[in-house]
Amino acid sequence: MSYSRSNGQSVLDYVPPHLKSFFRDKRDRHNGLDPYGFMTRGLVLYFPLWALNNGGTNSIQSIDAYRRTGTITGALWRPTHRLFDASDDKIVIPDHASLDITQELTLEGWVKLLNTGGNNSIMGKAATIWTQVSYILEIQNNEHPVFATSTDGSTPSNLDASVTLSANTWYHLCATFSKPARVIYIDGVAKANDSWNFDIHIGTSDLYIGKYAGDSATLDGHIGEVRVYSHALSAAEVLHNYNATSWRYQ
């Protein structure tokens, strides 16, 4: 089933009243582009973690048509990101039918590693690395971005970007799947692709930001924002999103 309730609308239409002035104050154009003019077709989840200061509570709400609640453990707020401590920090979004995406998918986020050498999860719908796996975007211990998908929930298939990332540098990472094509982009440029001619497993796991379930592959670094689409962004759309949001991380 396709969910695309954000079609044709600016993401600003979903900003709650208490954040509207904060977003509006930052709406100068950058690179000639509206900083909130990224693609919304098929957008099912958007967490601008730089904006969502939970004010002492343990939850935040996504800025999209679904307004999902993310439950926070640790992951301290900063004006440009949230800080994940490589231990138990995470944001958990409950499983929902709109996240059960089988044939077209985009995972996108801005991330900065603080240290190298470990497995660092950006986001994943997986109970563990071997159970209820649907899709994962992570940076493995060789500092390569990896996009993993599974058709049976227990055997993830990895696409490795084969590019080594550096610590203390912001990167825009994006993974797309349009059956059978998988692609990984770094800073708006395609770095790896392959053919994986299967449907993605519809599992029961929640969606995790900054780790998997089971406290594995916990991120040691910063995440500025994440988006999930039930639509495979084209190369031009990925580049547009990168250009529209990169000013915040320079």
- Range list of β-strands (E), 48-162: 59-61, 69-73, 76-78, 81-85, 90-93, 104-113, 120-125, 135-139, 145-149, 157-160
Sites in the chain below the pLDDT cut of 50: 1-6
pLDDT value at residue 77:
92
Q: Note the pLDDT tens digit of each residue in 185-201.
A: 999 999 999 999 999 99
Query: Is the CB of residue 119 less than 8 Å from the CB of residue 217?
Result: yes
pLDDT value at residue 69:
96
pLDDT value at residue 214:
65
pLDDT value at residue 25:
54
pLDDT value at residue 1:
29
User: Which of 92, 48, 35, 18 lies closest to 246, judged by CA?
Assistant: 35
pLDDT value at residue 38:
81
pLDDT value at residue 83:
96
pLDDT value at residue 213:
66
The full set of domains in the chain, from first to last, is 11-249 (2.60.120.200)
pLDDT value at residue 5:
41
Cis peptide before 16 (omega within 30 of 0): no
Q: Compute the CA torsion angle 25, 31, 36, 42 (nearest 10 deg).
A: 180
